[in-house]
Chain A
């Protein structure tokens, strides 16, 4: 840790200051900044940005890391001290997850700031319809799921969105149907555009109903969910982060699980966070890496070797590239109890830069 601080100090002396305060334009890339983003950047988040002369960005990322570690420590300590008591486990887990999100996002943001592509352009208004149809391979040695076909669409009207989707197939004869409805409190919609030059941030309230039916096992899980989700434009922090965004979501789920003999209820703590960036000078799409806390999906949660078994969700990445105004391709990978990889064809109508 002390070595890391020394490296930052050394780099500060060696590298000419590009700006006292962060410029409005992204600075040129610097090999030293890239190196600093890894060492000591892995420990001291913002190191790369600092060497790049993006002091405000660097201190914000470092502060985010500190707050993240504090929340993570507080959450984990609380869980340990209370023995993960049923009375406090949900808020403590949420605090831990928020801490992990801040820690992860601040690290990825620093890397993006020094090695990311030139900031892409997001849509300023949302498409009124987006559809996707894909094929996913699922390697799950326990459930032997196999290949899935997937379809889904997002239909938007003003701040409202309805998103039905389906995953069908798999060795377990699985059918996962989901209907999601959302209301956007703030951010771009089909009719409300973000201001020119401003990258979009948003906050949504989501309600969802999911039916996960494993017919070969005679079991159907039906889950009602409520989420608050959002995207934050990282350009608000500094110009070197232009074109990138952080995502976060939290919620609760209540499930009914119908077995042959009886029906159980189950509750879920839902959470998700990620970091991504837009592609292309025209709105071409985006790439996002994320952590998904839920364990009731096709991916499930990660199977951790050793003591820490069972407590983590899955990690994944998705990329969407539109080849023209309407048609595009999406690629998804996800690793939990199952390894998932898939390709989807995309179509959209409406929305614009």
Chain B
């Protein structure tokens, strides 16, 4: 038996079985930062801490309504949050529950907010809130993926997205960059500033080009696996960048599926569990794991799945769930498919748990 265990351990080393495990630790570290006396803790890692100084905290939100606490801010301090809904408002209370006055500063771009306050160093609890967060009337959101090395042309897509009526936010299903370096991630974040709505992202395999275990992605954009609820719809994003889901994330997912079972529920990730062109296998490393994941999503009453990775557009169904692949962000396209660069817009009717998709082509002659 000891020999069998030894052989299994040796074989495990060859096959990198825990290829996504380290990124779970990165996910859990997102939103927690300390600099001198200042400390920030974001609930459920819903925002990445981009900068922290005695008088300044800069966060990048990856959900519409992040909550966080800050300790150690003193004097005239500024809290700046990137990637927010333009109508989002920040509120703060002290440890006694008293409202702390905040003054909104002039906005540089629609998706960034900055608020000034007078702080005493005590622990303050912040909540970014949106007026329509609980409104369950129909609304729209976009989905896109796989920009990679086409960053120089990405403004074509953003321009077209801004023209699209009523998009509240977009989901980005991975492969923001070609290799995942800090320079590329910074450039990607900069290019996003022209959009009039926020983009909530997960990472793709191309974000792992510099490091599999510690990609810069988490420092810039936040968690790979997370969920949020907005206007009666749950959005769950999973880190499938290594063609697998880390075992710990399956445990999280079980809870998220239970939460979302009774409401409209969208699940997004980069690498699809099953490639609709199976012989290509642009999919999970293991069909058995893919079947397991899809079975769980199906039993969890998920209403829509969205993926990237394949540089084309596919509409299909997996395990009875409507599924879309949208890899039209500009990376080397799948030829002979007559699709080209594109993004998707979904009209959602939350009470009816109904999603209607629109394919928006960017390269239209």
Using a CB–CB distance below 8 Å, which chain A residues touch chain B? 80-90, 93, 137, 139-144, 172, 174, 212, 214, 217-219, 221, 252, 255, 257, 259-262, 264, 266-269, 295-298, 300-312, 314-315, 333-341, 343
Measured CB to CB, the closest approach of chain B to A313, in angstroms, equals 9
- Does B286 lie at the interface of the complex (its beta carbon under 8 Å from any beta carbon of A)? yes
Measured CB to CB, the closest approach of chain B to A185, in angstroms, equals 25
Whose C-beta in chain A lies nearest to the C-beta of B180? A307
Which of B9, B16, B21, B247 meets A302, CB within 8 Å?
A: B16
Chain B residues with Cβ below 8 Å from A307 are 179, 205-206, 208-209
Query: In the bound complex, how far is the Cα of B289 from the Cα of A310, in angstroms?
Result: 12
Contact A336 B320 (CB under 8 A): no
Using a CB–CB distance below 8 Å, which chain B residues touch chain A? 4-5, 7-9, 11-12, 14-21, 179, 205-206, 208-209, 212-213, 241-247, 250, 271, 274, 277-289, 291-292, 294-296, 298-299, 310-312, 317-321, 332-337
Measured CB to CB, the closest approach of chain B to A312, in angstroms, equals 8
Contact B280 A86 (CB under 8 A): yes
Chain A residues with Cβ below 8 Å from B312 are 83, 86
Contact B17 A303 (CB under 8 A): yes
Chain A residues with Cβ below 8 Å from B244 are 142, 303, 309, 337
* 15 A-B contacts (beta carbon < 8 Å): A86-B277, A139-B12, A142-B250, A172-B292, A259-B320, A260-B298, A295-B284, A296-B287, A300-B285, A301-B281, A302-B16, A303-B243, A309-B241, A310-B205, A337-B15
Chain A residues with Cβ below 8 Å from B288 are 143, 172, 174, 212, 214, 221, 296-298, 300, 337
Query: In the bound complex, how far is the Cα of B285 from the Cα of A72, in angstroms?
Result: 21
Which of A84, A218, A298 meets B282, CB within 8 Å?
A: A84
Contact A217 B296 (CB under 8 A): yes
Chain B residues with Cβ below 8 Å from A137 are 4-5, 8
Contact A262 B243 (CB under 8 A): no
Contact A302 B212 (CB under 8 A): no
Contact A85 B336 (CB under 8 A): yes
Contact A306 B295 (CB under 8 A): no
Measured CB to CB, the closest approach of chain A to B307, in angstroms, equals 12
Contact B7 A341 (CB under 8 A): yes
The 5 closest A-B pairs by CB, nearest first: A300-B286, A261-B320, A262-B320, A310-B243, A267-B278
Which of A268, A304, A341 meets B8, CB within 8 Å?
A: A341
Whose C-beta in chain B lies nearest to the C-beta of A267? B278
Are A262 and B289 also in contact (CB < 8 A) when A309-B243, A341-B4 are?
A: no
Q: Can you add 9 more A-B contacts, CB < 8 Å, to A296-B288, A307-B209, A339-B11?
A: A86-B280, A137-B8, A139-B11, A252-B279, A259-B294, A264-B318, A269-B281, A306-B212, A310-B271
Contact B281 A333 (CB under 8 A): no
Chain A residues with Cβ below 8 Å from B241 are 309
Are A84 and B286 also in contact (CB < 8 A) when A295-B281, A304-B16, A305-B19 are?
A: no
Chain B residues with Cβ below 8 Å from A333 are 7, 11
Chain A residues with Cβ below 8 Å from B333 are 83
Listed residue (A142, A174, A308) with the most chain B CB atoms within 10 angstroms of its CB: A142
Contact A315 B334 (CB under 8 A): no
Chain A residues with Cβ below 8 Å from B299 are 218, 260-261
Chain B residues with Cβ below 8 Å from A309 are 19, 205, 208, 241-244, 271, 285
Query: In the bound complex, how far is the Cα of B14 from the Cα of A179, in angstroms?
Result: 30
Query: In the bound complex, how far is the Cα of B353 from the Cα of A255, in angstroms?
Result: 30
Measured CB to CB, the closest approach of chain A to B284, in angstroms, equals 6
Query: In the bound complex, how far is the Cα of B247 from the Cα of A172, in angstroms?
Result: 14
Contact A310 B319 (CB under 8 A): no
Which of A82, A142, A217 meets B335, CB within 8 Å?
A: A82
Chain A residues with Cβ below 8 Å from B213 are 305
Measured CB to CB, the closest approach of chain A to B255, in angstroms, equals 17
Are A336 and B285 also in contact (CB < 8 A) when A261-B321, A341-B11 are?
A: yes
Are A218 and B15 also in contact (CB < 8 A) when A268-B278, A305-B212, A306-B209 are?
A: no
Which of B15, B245, B281, B310 meets A314, CB within 8 Å?
A: B15
Query: In the bound complex, how far is the Cα of B317 from the Cα of A323, in angstroms?
Result: 52
Which of A84, A89, A257, A303 meets B19, CB within 8 Å?
A: A303
Chain A residues with Cβ below 8 Å from B317 are 262, 264
Chain A residues with Cβ below 8 Å from B286 are 142-143, 295-296, 300-301, 336-338
Chain A residues with Cβ below 8 Å from B242 are 303-305, 309-310
Query: In the bound complex, how far is the Cα of B289 from the Cα of A212, in angstroms?
Result: 12
Contact B279 A90 (CB under 8 A): yes
Measured CB to CB, the closest approach of chain B to A105, in angstroms, equals 20
Chain B residues with Cβ below 8 Å from A341 are 4, 7-8, 11
Contact A140 B271 (CB under 8 A): no
Are A80 and B11 also in contact (CB < 8 A) when A142-B250, A336-B285, A337-B289 are?
A: no
Which of A259, A312, A336 meets B298, CB within 8 Å?
A: A259
Are A219 and B292 also in contact (CB < 8 A) when A83-B332, A302-B15 are?
A: yes
Listed residue (B11, B243, B277, B298) with the most chain A CB atoms within 10 angstroms of its CB: B11
Query: In the bound complex, how far is the Cα of B208 from the Cα of A144, in angstroms?
Result: 26
Chain A residues with Cβ below 8 Å from B334 are 82-86
Contact A306 B205 (CB under 8 A): yes
Chain A residues with Cβ below 8 Å from B318 are 264
Query: In the bound complex, how far is the Cα of B295 from the Cα of A157, in angstroms?
Result: 41
Are A217 and B291 also in contact (CB < 8 A) when A267-B278, A269-B279, A310-B283 are?
A: yes
Listed residue (B15, B245, B271, B320) with the most chain A CB atoms within 10 angstroms of its CB: B15
Contact A85 B335 (CB under 8 A): yes
